[in-house]
């Protein structure tokens, strides 16, 4: 097992995986409480449009994907508040639109870039030192901002109406949560893939909620599940020669079903 760490790309992947696991687990806690799972799926897939735009313009796909994902997530949140349009309907509009724009941007490009599909399914070989810096900075920003507004976010998650009556900036907190969700999606694309990242935005928090109802225990357990899934998935994928992103999600899903079974027994 020690041999696998002799490769720089594996060391980079593990370091990135640990950082992402921590960030996604914290965000997953709020995603599960707020029932934003479907929005996570929509934002994750909309990021593909930003990746394709970056490839077309010849600039870093990470930054264009951030812009794309933040705009789409907040647009979904804004339009979903309209009485005649549900959040599901808004996602159903922006999800295919962003993907369609991604395909159009690819078609407009003069050359075919296979790395675009690395963003879709994850590419462990693509993690570089520069990527680690981006993940550390943006992930740290997500965690720091979440810590600053933690009590407010928790209040809104448990009782939105009371929070609104109490004078809390509920609308701002809604869009703040959607923004950090978008950032979490984008910084996870390379190692897990756009298609699979939405799973780690849901599974850790969902698994933890089956075992405990205390928010502090739920966050701690969610982080543990995400870290075990990421580290275990990378080890299994290395020795079994399997896709890393899919293996991480599969292991996380197995842990969820175990937690679900434990929760049923406790009931």
Q: Name the stretches of the chain with pLDDT < 50.
A: none
What integer pLDDT is reported at residue 228 of this predicted model?
A: 93
Decide if 163 is inside a domain. yes
What integer pLDDT is reported at residue 216 of this predicted model?
A: 87
Give the number of domains in the chain.
Answer: 1
Decide if 50 is inside a domain. yes
Q: What's the CATH code of the domain at 69?
A: 1.10.3470.10
What integer pLDDT is reported at residue 258 of this predicted model?
A: 94
Q: How far apart are CA 156 and CA 174, in angstroms?
A: 9
Which single residue is written with the structure tokens 């020795």?
239
**Contact 30/153 with Cβ under 8 angstroms?**
yes
Decide if 184 is inside a domain. yes
Decide if 195 is inside a domain. yes
Decide if 193 is inside a domain. yes
- Torsion angle in degrees (nearest 10) through CA of 263, 157, 40, 108: -170
pTM score of the predicted model: 0.86
What integer pLDDT is reported at residue 144 of this predicted model?
A: 94
Q: In sequence order, what are the residues at sequence separation of 6 or more whose Cβ sits closer than 8 angstroms to the Cβ of residue 164?
A: 170
Q: Which two tokens stand for residue 206?
A: 């969902």
Decide if 23 is inside a domain. yes
Decide if 265 is inside a domain. no
Q: How far apart are CA 42 and CA 90, in angstroms?
A: 10
Decide if 133 is inside a domain. yes
What is the average pLDDT value for the chain, to the nearest integer?
Answer: 84
Question: Which residues form the domain of 228?
Answer: 2-260
What integer pLDDT is reported at residue 148 of this predicted model?
A: 93
CB atoms within 10 A of CB 170: 17
What integer pLDDT is reported at residue 115 of this predicted model?
A: 66
């Amino acid at each position: 097992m020690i041999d696998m760490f002799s490769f720089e790309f594996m060391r980079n992947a593990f370091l990135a995986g640990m950082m992402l696991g921590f960030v996604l687990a914290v965000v997953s806690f709020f995603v599960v409480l707020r029932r934003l799972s479907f929005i996570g799926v929509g934002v994750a897939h909309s990021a593909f449009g930003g990746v394709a735009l970056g490839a077309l313009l010849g600039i870093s796909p990470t930054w264009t994907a951030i812009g794309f994902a933040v705009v789409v997530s907040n647009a979904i949140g804004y339009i979903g508040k309209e009485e005649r349009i549900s959040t599901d309907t808004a996602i159903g509009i922006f999800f295919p639109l962003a993907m369609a724009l991604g395909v159009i941007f690819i078609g407009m490009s003069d050359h075919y870039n296979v790395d675009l599909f690395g963003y879709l399914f994850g590419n462990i070989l693509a993690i570089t030192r520069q990527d680690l810096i981006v993940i550390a900075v943006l992930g740290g920003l997500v965690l720091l901002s979440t810590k600053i507004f933690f009590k407010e976010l928790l209040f809104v998650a448990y009782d939105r109406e009371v929070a609104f009556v109490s004078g809390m900036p509920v609308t701002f907190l809604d869009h703040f949560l959607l923004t950090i969700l978008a950032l979490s999606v984008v910084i996870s694309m390379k190692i897990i893939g756009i298609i699979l990242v939405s799973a780690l935005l849901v599974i850790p928090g969902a698994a933890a909620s089956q075992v405990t109802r205390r928010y502090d225990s739920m966050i701690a357990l969610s982080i543990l599940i995400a870290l075990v899934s990421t580290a275990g998935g990378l080890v299994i994928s290395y020795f079994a020669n399997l896709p890393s992103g899919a293996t991480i999600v599969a292991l996380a899903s197995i842990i969820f079903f175990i937690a679900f079974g434990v929760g049923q027994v406790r009931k």
